[in-house]
Amino acid sequence: MDFWVAGFLVLTAGILLRPWLWFRLRESKKKDGGDEHEEKKKKGMIPKGSLGWPLIGETLNFIACGYSSRPVTFMEKRKSSYGKVFKTNIIGTPIIVSTDAEVNKVVLQNHGNIFVPAYPKSITELLGENSILSINGPHQKRLHTLISAFLRSPHLKDRITRDIETSVCLTLASWAQLPLVHVQDEIKKMTFEILVRVLMSTAPGEDMDILKLEFEEFIKGLICIPIKFPGTRLYKSLKAKERLIKMVKKVVEERQVAAGTTASPANDVMDVLLRDVSDGGDSEKQSQPSDFVSGKIVEMMIPGEETMPTAMTLAVKFLSDNPVALAKLVEENMEMKRRKLESGEVYSWTDYMSLSFTQNVINETLRMANIINGVWRKALKDVEIKGYLIPKGWGVLASFIAVHMDEDIYENPYQFDPWRWDRINGSANSSICFTPFGGGQRLCPGLELSKLEIAIFLHHLVTRYSWTAEEDEIVSFPTVKMKRRLPIRVAMVDIL
């Protein structure tokens, strides 16, 4: 077990003790009196399961499975013993785990009046109580709607397609000049540049390099011991966030001045947020508009930093291990490339999205990768779903990975099979059994843009280059990544 995990468990023993004692006290009160009939009724409805050892619960088993080749084993064992919804204790918190797609759907579609986001203390300390991850109600809904509308707009897709193509082609050309490429590292550089361009239109250069360095220092504190004395990880990350906010705020203020002399369409998320600020309605936005906008821009860098490069890296991994799927992907993309060369037309974003097998590869990669393996929520009151009682104050983990790897839903779930999506599409349950981008009111607003970016990357990779990959393993804790960062050797090819 990693040193930091052991240290985390030891140093937070006091924190862990509180919820465990709370639960034991709660159980004791049930036995001693009160409305015994009602309590017994509720107790019978609470999902079965085990809270494990005092203090640490079943945390060690949960982490160990994350380092194995089958991280879903933790869920599978308990599902076989207790059913698709069960109780456990992870990181000192009594929690209900759902591996049931229909239960997950209810949790995801709730609008914040029953379930609210619940994240580790380090995340709330680093992002604040008013972060995009934590806010609820009308403000969250409005912000999500505005950003989703912009990221899905044909205007943005038309423009960003050219930017993505440029970044992808330059990156791949540099790979062909290197003796060995670590895909995971190199793709992170590329996707960060694209992400920042979408958020605030910053071009590659010195400012981008500094921004990336500060951001990398900032996100190191997302999962850490929640102590912020000078020298601690959280303290360093908070300082990095201050520097990040300062850099972004400078761009915001320059944009505010320019906005007074132009009425052009929104070109990035910063424009969208600045225009929303002027509409009023939220005290934070009105009193400190530049702080509000810069804070939200920094927060929106986080999901794009992990999900996109990981998805692209694992697509390369899965295709390297499946020559039949790779050959089919090459065939489809070469056919489109020939058509474009013959007609002399440039690629549009709809061209990339129309590649059916490429989209199958993307879906299958996302299903197997489980980059977002679930969402964590807290119940604001007792709630019953499909006969299960989730008590007020308990955490809820809606597990996506357990559904994505369920043999009753996906035949041979551990086999990379892009063709399965030709059979699945149109199924009545496909929308609730495939949730790589979450769901409900918090469905990732950039999901279409993410698929476009992966499709562009795969197209130019397989139509211009060949590669050989060295052996590597997928690690699923604390985040999904390649153990050796996926080393490959790349060569340019002339297939046409």
Q: Among residues 488, 491, 496, 494, which one has the least CA distance to residue 187?
A: 488
Q: Where are the domains of the chain?
A: 3-129+376-401, 137-370+405-492
Q: 3-class DSSP state for residue 389? A: strand
- State what percent of residues in the chain have pLDDT above 90: 64
Give yes or no for residue 42 having a pLDDT over 80.
no
Give yes or no for residue 279 having a pLDDT over 80.
no
Please give the residue that has the higher pLDDT: either 113 or 18. Answer: 113
Give yes or no for residue 491 having a pLDDT over 90.
yes
Helix (H) or strand (E) holding 115: strand 115-117
What strand order describes the sheet that includes 85-90? 85-90, 93-98, 395-399, 374-379, 115-117
| pLDDT tens track for 369-385 | 999 889 989 999 999 99
CA distance 276 to 273: 5
Q: Is domain 3-129+376-401 annotated with CATH 3.30.1300.10?
A: no
Please give the residue that has the higher pLDDT: either 400 or 111. Answer: 400
| pLDDT tens track for 423-449 | 887 564 677 999 999 988 889 999 999
pLDDT the model gives residue 5? 36
Place of tokens 């709330």: 124
Question: At the topology level of CATH, where does 137-370+405-492 sit?
Answer: Cytochrome p450 (1.10.630)
User: Pairing relation of β-strands 395-399 and 388-390?
Assistant: unpaired
pLDDT the model gives residue 437? 92
Whether the Cβ atoms of residue 95 and residue 88 lie closer than 8 Å to each other? yes
Place of tokens 């469905």: 443
Whether the Cβ atoms of residue 293 and residue 272 lie closer than 8 Å to each other? no
What backbone phi and psi angles, to 5 degrees, belong to 174?
A: -70, -30
pLDDT the model gives residue 3? 32
Place of tokens 């104050």: 393
Q: 3-class DSSP state for residue 192? A: helix
Q: 3-class DSSP state for residue 117? A: strand
Torsion angle in degrees (nearest 10) through CA of 44, 50, 56, 61: -140
